């Protein structure tokens, strides 16, 4: 089955305290976004890669590709004002794929085992997302009052979120608003059941300086174990 992956990278770097968008911050001498694309390509070299960036960052990306000799084939799509609109623009470039995943550009360490499992579950069930258990205690806030809740009833969601292409396109085409928090929520609102598969702990989203330090540790460990 032919697969596509939409990589969404529209961050500003505010929480990182950086002067450049977080996806362009270097990890081991290369922008985080390049690590993400290379990792996804290495898993399946036939997969279509679609990178969604704000149009104002297209020229920056071109300069970074030249600087780092980045030749990996991918298509560019223009980011929108919301994640929904960004993914919708990327989805428009998916023409003949059976399955499509949507991944955060600042998650450079998804495992092949997890991505393959997510696509397989989507192939059989329509839609699948990777999740990991919550390890912290949780409290629910309601008008200034908090109450403890059972963390076993919750899980943390990762990406890539994977779908049958027809399912994702139908959901995005019929959505009534654009303020969904993630892609699975759009599909669920259209009546599609979401399957859960095991995520991987290394698949962190790099948004803060501490995340960047942890990413360097993960990168170093991967290099040493390869």
pLDDT at 10: 77
- pLDDT tens, 36-77? 999 999 999 999 999 999 999 999 999 999 999 999 999 999
Longest CA–CA separation in the chain, Å: 54
Helix H or strand E segment including 56: none
Do 36 and 6 meet the contact criterion of CB atoms below 8 Å apart?
no
R_g (Cα) of the chain, nearest Å? 18
Spell out, as residue ranges, where the chain has pLDDT lower than 50. 13-14
pLDDT at 178: 86
pLDDT at 194: 98
DSSP code for 126: S
Q: What is the C-alpha separation between 112 and 185, in angstroms, rounded?
A: 24
What does the chain come to in residues?
226
pLDDT at 20: 83
pLDDT at 11: 57
DSSP code for 129: E
User: 184: how many CB neighbours lie within 10 A of its CB?
Assistant: 24
CATH of 3-132+161-225, one of 3.90.550.10, 3.65.10.10, 3.90.1150.10, 3.30.530.20: 3.90.550.10
User: 205: how many CB neighbours lie within 10 A of its CB?
Assistant: 16
pLDDT at 226: 63
Output 213-220 pairs: Cβ under 8 A, ≥24 positions apart.
215/27, 215/32, 215/108, 215/109, 216/27, 216/28, 218/109, 219/27, 219/28, 219/35, 219/108, 219/109, 220/28
Sign of CA dihedral 53, 16, 42, 129: negative
* Strand ranges for 84-203 from DSSP E: 99-104, 127-133, 138-142, 145-149, 155-157, 161-164, 195-198
Taking the mean position of all CA atoms in its chain, how far away is CA 117?
15
Helix H or strand E segment including 24: none
**Residue pointed to by tokens 């694309």:** 37
Sign of CA dihedral 6, 153, 111, 11: positive
pLDDT at 224: 77
Do 204 and 117 meet the contact criterion of CB atoms below 8 Å apart?
no
- Give the residue extent of every domain in the chain: 3-132+161-225
Do 48 and 5 meet the contact criterion of CB atoms below 8 Å apart?
yes
């Amino acid at each position: 089955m032919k697969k596509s992956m939409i990589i969404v990278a529209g961050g500003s770097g505010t929480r990182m305290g950086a002067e450049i968008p977080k996806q362009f911050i270097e990890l081991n001498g290369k922008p985080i976004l390049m690590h993400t694309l290379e990792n996804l390509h290495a898993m399946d070299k036939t997969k279509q890669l679609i990178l969604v960036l704000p149009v104002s960052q297209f020229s920056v990306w071109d300069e970074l590709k030249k600087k780092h000799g980045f030749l990996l084939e991918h298509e560019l799509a223009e980011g929108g004002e919301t994640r929904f609109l960004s993914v919708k623009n990327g989805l428009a470039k998916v023409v003949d794929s059976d399955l499509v995943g949507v991944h955060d550009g600042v998650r450079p360490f998804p495992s092949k085992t997890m991505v393959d499992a997510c696509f397989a579950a989507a192939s059989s069930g329509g839609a699948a997302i990777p999740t990991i258990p919550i390890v912290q205690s949780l409290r629910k806030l309601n008008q200034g009052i908090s109450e403890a809740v059972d963390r076993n009833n919750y899980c943390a969601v990762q990406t890539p979120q994977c779908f049958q292409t027809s399912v994702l396109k139908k959901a995005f085409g019929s959505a009534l608003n654009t303020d969904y928090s993630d892609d699975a929520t759009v599909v669920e609102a259209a009546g599609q059941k979401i399957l859960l598969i095991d995520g991987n702990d290394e698949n962190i989203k790099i948004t803060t300086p501490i995340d960047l330090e942890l990413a360097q540790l993960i990168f170093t460990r991967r290099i040493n174990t390869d």
